[in-house]
Amino acid sequence: MAAALSMVPSVVVSAFAQSQIEGRCVLVFGSAMGSVWEKALERGARLVHVCDPNPERLAEAAAKNTLQSVSFAPLSSQATLAVRDGAFDIGIIDNLSAMSDLPMLIRRLKRALSPRGLAFITAPNPDVQDGLVSPADTTKQVLDYYTLYDIVRTEFPIVRMLGQMPFVGYTVAELAPVAEPEPKLDAGFVVGGTEEPEWFVAAASAQPFELDGFTVVQLPMADVLHNSASRQLREQLRSSRHAERSAVERLARLEAQLAQIQQRHTEQRTSAELSRQLEELKEELRRKERWIASVEARATAADSRADEADLQVERLQQEVVHNEHLEVRVVQLESELGELKAQLSASEQQVSKANADLNELGELKAQAATSEQQVSEASSDLNRLEVLLQERGGRIRQLEAELQSVTRVGEQLVRQLQNSALEVTRATESQSWADNVSAAAATSLPTDTAQSPERTSAWVSHQAHAPSVQSSEHADEVLQTLLEERARLRADVQAAAWRVEQLAAATQQSRDVERQFAELKNQFALAQGRLNEQEVLLQQLRSHATC
């Protein structure tokens, strides 16, 4: 087994997850010289495979390794794991904040685990400066609680966050207990009941899993004290460096003071020469002052003249500014004049258009007056046609009554004609019978009773023909009357039909007149609307022209 393995905070994961590690294959991403993989073997792991991103540390651990249940491999973005996918049951990352390319690392860990594999990913709490045990690698990335959860959650659907808090104290126990003692945990000396988590542990898997809710892992005191001594040495080194930096700064200040002292000594040696030169300079200064006084007198006169020139220049500048304003105003007025001309031309166009609209309006008024006259004439014609229609309706009803009366009379005449025809038939039959009887009587009468042919014939003729002649004449008269009545009725019916056609034509004409009247009303309404629009437009043009 390799010697001199350092204690790291993530070793507690092996104790916390001992029930999951026993008899399983474990994959460790982290320091090959750390104690994570050794503690996993002590807790019952069947095989441990360690991937370290530091090649020197990896080579040293591989050279010292004598166990067949442990294997080592490099961990980098270019190197691939020399194992098949899904070969491990447990995966541990001892310090995720010391790694690079975190999403790729999480994907590699997930691909190396079996479908029911469980991963433990640790990262230090950035809010805690000093921990109970120092990590093996320095922090490259700051990962707080939520960042760690989001990174792991991108690959594992189930993530449970754990907090690793330091536990420092004494165990007071009976040395010869009668029965198995029950442990009691007292955190009354700690404010809040517990320390702030030094490390966050993300337990992740693709399938649901069970974990202990609370576990206290005791560490060897020598390792913890050794870590404390190392931390004290680091603090002393830090203090020494701070003192050295302060000494260097003080030495620089002293050197600066020495340079100032040397400069003052040099100044003292040259002070006599400077005094002599000062007297000469004072004399020269007095001469310069006298010359300056004369120059000031001349300058005063020049200043007065300059002031006058300045006043003239200011007046000229004001005039120039005023002229510039005038030019700008002229340009503005010219632009306004152009706009007014454009508005005037537009107004003239609008006025011409308004005049055209007024002419059209006059025409529309004339058309409206004509339309009103036509409407009034159409109304009078309509009233006259209504009166005529009423009269013709009364005449039609009268003709219908007469037609019904004529029809009844015709039916009666037809019945009388039928009766007369029946009587004529009966009279003809009676004449035939009388002729037969007369012939028989002439044959059977004796000689002495014979009458003269003229008398016999006259009597027989009178007896035989008298009814027939009367019936025939009556039938002819009735038939002639019926024919005349029938002709008269046909003429009345034809006249009534012609009258009905005339009334229908008049009714259709009245309907056409009504339709023309409705159209004229619509045209009148449209003309009235256009007239109102033209009046509104004319009013707007007048108001615009007034403005």
The rounded Cα 95 to chain-centroid distance in angstroms is 47
Q: Structure tokens of 285?
A: 């200064």
Q: What is the pLDDT of residue 156?
A: 95
Q: Is the pLDDT of residue 429 over 60?
A: yes
Mean pLDDT over 235-247 rounds to 69
- Most confident stretch, 76-80, 244-248, 471-475: 244-248
pLDDT tens readout for residues 436-480? 555 554 444 444 434 444 444 443 344 444 444 455 566 677 677
Q: Is the pLDDT of residue 58 over 70?
A: yes
Task: Specify the higher pLDDT residue, 106 or 410.
Answer: 106
Q: Is the pLDDT of residue 259 over 70?
A: yes
3-class SS of residue 202: strand
Q: How far apart are CA 120 and CA 122, in angstroms?
A: 7
Q: Is the pLDDT of residue 409 over 80?
A: no
Q: What is the pLDDT of residue 3?
A: 41
Cβ atoms of 53 and 138 within 8 Å: the answer is: no
Q: Is the pLDDT of residue 155 over 50?
A: yes
The rounded Cα 439 to chain-centroid distance in angstroms is 127
pLDDT category of residue 542 using cuts at 50, 70 and 90: confident
- Most confident stretch, 134-138, 186-190, 271-275, 481-485: 186-190
Q: Is the pLDDT of residue 373 over 80?
A: no
Q: Is the pLDDT of residue 7 over 80?
A: no
Q: Which residue has the tokens 């007198």?
A: 297
pTM over 0.85: no
437-476: string of b/e by CB count within 10 Å (b at 16+)?
Answer: ebeeeeeeeeeeeeeeeeeeeeebeeebeeeeeebeeebe
Category of 216 on φ-ψ map: left (φ > 0), alpha (ψ -120 to 50) or beta = beta
Give the contacts of 5 (CB within 8 A, at least 6 positions apart): 33, 34, 35, 38
> Which residue type sits at 93?
I
Cβ atoms of 94 and 119 within 8 Å: the answer is: no
**C-alpha dihedral, 185 to 188 to 189 to 194, nearest 10°:** 70
Mean pLDDT over 405-428 rounds to 72
Q: What is the pLDDT of residue 301?
A: 76
- Most confident stretch, 140-154, 396-410, 501-515: 140-154
Mean pLDDT over 87-101 rounds to 91
Please compute, for residue 442, the number of CA atoms within 13 A of its CA located in the half-sphere on the CB side: 14
Give the contacts of 156 (CB within 8 A, at least 6 positions apart): 106, 110, 119, 204, 205, 206
Cβ atoms of 62 and 83 within 8 Å: the answer is: no
Q: Structure tokens of 352?
A: 């011409």
- Most confident stretch, 197-201, 233-237, 383-387, 435-439: 197-201
3-class SS of residue 289: helix
Per-chain mean pLDDT for the chain: 77
Backbone angles phi, psi at 52, to 5 degrees: -120, 130
DSSP labels, 205-227: ESS-----S-------HHHHHHH
Q: What is the CA radius of gyration of the chain?
A: 71
CA geometry: angle 19, 172, 18, nearest 5 deg = 5
Task: Specify the higher pLDDT residue, 313 or 406.
Answer: 313
Range name among 59-63, 156-160, 195-199, 226-230 with the lowest pLDDT average: 226-230
Backbone angles phi, psi at 276, to 5 degrees: -60, -45
Cβ atoms of 83 and 74 within 8 Å: the answer is: no
Give the contacts of 366 (CB within 8 A, at least 6 positions apart): none
Range name among 223-232, 354-363, 423-432 with the lowest pLDDT average: 223-232
Task: Specify the higher pLDDT residue, 106 or 218.
Answer: 106
C-alpha closest to that of 125 among 167, 151, 97: 97
pLDDT tens readout for residues 336-345? 778 877 877 7
Sheet holding 199-205, edge to edge: 70-74, 47-52, 25-29, 88-93, 113-124, 199-205, 158-164
Backbone angles phi, psi at 450, to 5 degrees: -70, 145
Give the contacts of 243 (CB within 8 A, at least 6 positions apart): none
Mean pLDDT over 218-246 rounds to 66
CA geometry: angle 344, 350, 351, nearest 5 deg = 85
Mean pLDDT over 348-363 rounds to 72
Cβ atoms of 357 and 534 within 8 Å: the answer is: yes
| Neighbouring-strand partners of residue 28 | 50, 92
